[in-house]
Amino acid sequence: MEIIGEKINTTRKDVQKAVRERDAAFIQELAQKQAEGGAAFLDVNSGLALYPEEEAEDFAWLVPLIQKTVDLPLCIDSGRPQPIEAALKLHRGKAMINSVNGDPAKMGEIFPLVKKYGCKVIALTSSREGGIPATSEERLKIAQTIATEAQKYGVPLGDIYFDPLVMALSTQHGNGTLFLETLRGIKKNLGEAKTVSGLSNISFGLPKRRLMNQVFLVLALGCGMDAAILDPTDKALMAMIRAGETLMGKDPFCAKYISAFREGRLDV
Amino acid sequence: MEIIGEKINTTRKDVQKAVRERDAAFIQELAQKQAEGGAAFLDVNSGLALYPEEEAEDFAWLVPLIQKTVDLPLCIDSGRPQPIEAALKLHRGKAMINSVNGDPAKMGEIFPLVKKYGCKVIALTSSREGGIPATSEERLKIAQTIATEAQKYGVPLGDIYFDPLVMALSTQHGNGTLFLETLRGIKKNLGEAKTVSGLSNISFGLPKRRLMNQVFLVLALGCGMDAAILDPTDKALMAMIRAGETLMGKDPFCAKYISAFREGRLDV
């Protein structure tokens, strides 16, 4: 499972402050720690910037700063195409864009960038008019629409990470199985397409969120989820992912599991 | 998920001693604690008795003692039909027999008891001649043979708990997925049949066994496992099962999860 580190996000107050004040050391430490924790990508979100120009400037500062610190590709997380392109221009290696969805206008903005810069892209199984559909079938239909549209731009299916979309279990007790069904459906029907999600919404409004998030991650891993947006410095969660991947047969001779043990990564 | 408490087992030295010395308080405490932890059945194994008569006497002491202490059905765990029947004669409620397998002689011993005493039964997907098959298909074939044979005795499929059989990941890194595939195959092809397993063999020979056992249990739960033989006094494991069942949509309004939280059962 590819881990996308979630911590460089300006919706977190301390990150917002660090970005506004251009506190390089703070950002570099966040990047370093997530890389050490096992991140394959780092999400970078500066969406609290007031204007697109300001967000583009933020990215122009953040992207080289982070890539100078860690040798990882970034996941450029923004609702605006201009700042995304500003980030991509400075990005080294194969970036990921977070995100496109089933909205034709959105696809028209994002897919040309995906193609031009040879990126990966996260695709939410929602649309502008219909919001987040209530059934797995409708979400799959949106995923199929996105896959078809991507093809027109020459974007390979294997570069698209579909997000089945997690909603809180506290509002509807079937939201967990709805997510897992959608995930399995995408894996089954969309060939090489990848799947990704942030999982913590599932536990919104419930106690012991950490427990629930951990268990949900393992269930998603069991259904073949390819990537997750989470906190790679959460040692317990990362240990469960390591154990889960080994259990899912993806670790010949359990070599990665045993290495993780020797490095103290399973001590939680 | 129905939990079968594993602790009253004479392969554990202290239990063996308590059974030999007829230490009622020790056994009663084991029973009480497992019931409080959330067991639906208690496994009772006196297999270290030297002779069948001795084992039958052990059961004749254990069964009423435990059922006087806790209001739970027992899972009579023995390789010998005579002691099993001695236990069933004294058992109150619907017992479970642990176990039958695909061996015709074994089925000929066990199914008449299952029918006569109206029990449930654990059925291992192995046979005398072939041992434990190396593929999911062969294990499924044995399960089907057992299901067909059970029908001849008038034993309902819903009373059979098939065990897909866990083998150590350390000997073959595909043993986890082999188990999960077999589990899914049984759920798909054998209608009302149940599934059960002890899971801890998976981590044999590996470090951090507790972590691996927990994650494997969640993966099995995600594939629809109906019951598990484990230690119900393991609070962390039981909390994960509670979270897992809620996530799998089996907990309207998350009521059981919230109750478990209020009762402190999720504090791990």
Q: How far apart are CA B75 and CA B81, in angstroms?
A: 14
Judged by phi (left if over 0) then psi (alpha if -120 to 50, else beta), residue B93 lies in left
Mutate to test the interface with B, among A167, A218, A250, A268 (most CBs of B within 10 A): A218
At A30, list the tokens.
Answer: 């966040």
Q: How far apart are CA A168 and CA A199, in angstroms?
A: 10
CA distance B126 to chain A (A): 22
Are A247 and B169 an interchain contact pair (Cβ–Cβ within 8 Å)?
yes
The pTM of the whole model exceeds 0.90: yes
pLDDT at B35 over 90: yes
Partners of A258 on chain B (C-beta within 8 Å) are 206-207
pLDDT at B49 over 90: no
Give the CA distances from residue B214 to residues A101, A215, B37, B221, B237, in Å, rounded to whole numbers and listed in that order.
36, 9, 16, 11, 6
CA distance A205 to chain B (A): 11
| DSSP one-letter string for A14-57 | HHHHHHHTT-HHHHHHHHHHHHHHT-SEEEEE-TT-SSHHHHHH
CA distance A128 to chain B (A): 28
Provide CB contacts within 8 A for A248, sequence distance 6+.
A221, A222, B176, B177, B219
Q: pLDDT at position B86, please?
A: 96
Are A243 and B211 an interchain contact pair (Cβ–Cβ within 8 Å)?
yes
Beta bridge mates, B225:
none
Are A206 and B254 an interchain contact pair (Cβ–Cβ within 8 Å)?
yes
In this prediction, residue B60 has a pLDDT band, given cuts at 50, 70 and 90, of: very high
B184-202 per-position pLDDT tens digit: 999 999 999 999 999 999 9
Provide CB contacts within 8 A for B95, sequence distance 6+.
B73, B74, B75, B76, B87, B88, B117, B119, B120
Answer yes or no: are the C-beta atoms of A84 and A97 closer than 8 Å. yes
CB atoms within 10 A of CB B89: 12
φ and ψ at B223, to 5 degrees? -90, 5
Beta bridge mates, A43:
A75
Q: pLDDT at position A47, please?
A: 82
Answer yes or no: are the C-beta atoms of B163 and B195 closer than 8 Å. yes
pLDDT at A52 over 90: no
A97-138 per-position pLDDT tens digit: 999 999 999 999 999 999 999 999 999 999 988 899 999 999
Beta bridge mates, B161:
B122, B194
Q: pLDDT at position B48, please?
A: 79
CB atoms within 10 A of CB B236: 13
Q: pLDDT at position B151, please?
A: 97
- Mean residue pLDDT of chain B comes to 96
Closest partner residue to B215 among A169, A207, A244, by Cβ?
Answer: A244
B115-174 per-position pLDDT tens digit: 999 999 999 999 988 899 999 999 999 999 999 999 999 999 999 999 999 999 999 999
Q: How far apart are CA B248 and CA B160, in angstroms?
A: 23
Partners of B257 on chain A (C-beta within 8 Å) are 206, 212
Answer yes or no: are the C-beta atoms of A201 and A220 closer than 8 Å. no
> Which among A169, A244, A173, A181 is positioned nearest to A213, based on CA atoms?
A169
A161-174 per-position pLDDT tens digit: 999 999 999 999 99
Q: pLDDT at position A192, please?
A: 96
For residue A149, the SS3 value is helix
Q: pLDDT at position B52, please?
A: 86
Work out the average pLDDT over B227-238. 97
Q: pLDDT at position A13, please?
A: 94
Partners of B176 on chain A (C-beta within 8 Å) are 246-249
B93-113 per-position pLDDT tens digit: 999 999 999 999 999 999 999
Radius of gyration of chain A (CA): 18
B129 burial (CB, 10 Å; 0-12 / 13-18 / 19+) is exposed
Q: How far apart are CA B220 and CA B214, in angstroms?
A: 10
At B23, list the tokens.
Answer: 């230490």
Going by their DSSP bridges, the two strands A160-163 and A96-100 should be labelled as unpaired
CA distance B228 to chain A (A): 17
Are A249 and B208 an interchain contact pair (Cβ–Cβ within 8 Å)?
no
Answer yes or no: are the C-beta atoms of B168 and B179 closer than 8 Å. no
φ and ψ at B118, to 5 degrees? 55, 45
SS (H, E, C) A215-248: HHHHHHHHCCCCEEEECCCCHHHHHHHHHHHHHC
Name the packing angle between helices A255-262 and A235-247 (round to 10°).
160
Q: What percent of chain B has pLDDT over 90?
A: 94
Q: pLDDT at position A50, please?
A: 81
> Which among B163, B158, B114 is positioned nearest to B142, based on CA atoms?
B163
